[in-house]
Amino acid sequence: MLGAHQIELPHVHFPRKALAVDVSVRGAPLRFYSTHFDYGEDASAARAAAAAAILADLPAPGPAIVAGDLNAGPAEPGPADLAAALVDLWPAANPSQTGATMPAGKPTRRIDYLFASPSLGGKLLGAKLLDEHDGALWLSDHRGVAAAVLVP
């Protein structure tokens, strides 16, 4: 790890942050963000502002990945703002699938995402939903999303 910092994000219900970690992958820099945006219809402006805060922090011109539970659908504030600047890896890899992640047992909504800077999005190898469970026991109330990109 080369470094890390936190970004305080706007919120309505509970304090939110994004963790940014700078790493080196085979000698190439990469910034990875993990976050969880606020939920509810009354928090759509906070989600848009949270996305703007992350976008303002992106390393230029370095590659970055943003991962998280954004508590909104792809066309809503937050995810849509990130998708305007970054590559949404799920539809890029699986254009005919919704990528629904919530609830885990029988997902009907997509609220979990992986975004990448355009330089990485062009090196996408694939993406999948993580749907492993033990009988009726799921590790989370959401399904995870995984993607493979070629770095550098």
CA distances to 37, 38, 43, 85, 114 from 13, in Å: 10, 7, 8, 27, 24
What distance in Å separates the CA atoms of residue 127 and residue 59, rounded to the nearest whole number? 24
Find the DSSP H helices in the chain.
Answer: 44-57, 79-85, 89-93, 118-121
Give the chain's domains with CATH numbers: 3-149 (3.60.10.10)
d(Cα 10, Cα 48) in Å, to the nearest integer?
Answer: 9
Blockwise average pLDDT, block size 10, the chain, 152 residues: 95 97 94 97 97 96 95 98 98 97 95 96 94 80 94 82
pLDDT at 140: 87
Residue 98: is it exposed, middle or buried by C-beta count within 10 angstroms (0-12/13-18/19+)? middle
pLDDT confidence of residue 1: 81
pLDDT digits (tens, 9 = 90+) for 31-67: 999 999 999 999 999 999 999 999 999 998 889 999 9
pLDDT at 35: 98
Confidence at residue 13, expressed as pLDDT on a 0 to 100 scale? 96
pLDDT (0 to 100) of residue 124: 96
pLDDT for position 112: 97
How far from the centroid of its chain's Cα atoms is residue 116's Cα?
8
Which tokens sit at 92? Answer: 């890029």
pLDDT at 133: 78
Q: Report CA-CA distances (Å) from 124 to 17, 41, 90, 92.
A: 27, 32, 10, 8
> In this predicted structure, what is the pLDDT of residue 114?
98
Q: What is the pLDDT of residue 18?
A: 98
Mean pLDDT of the chain: 95
Residue 27 makes CB contacts below 8 A (sequence gap 6+) with 152
Query: Under a CB-based contact definition with an 8 Å cutoff, are residues 46 and 14 in contact?
Result: no
Amino acid in the structure at residue 58 = L
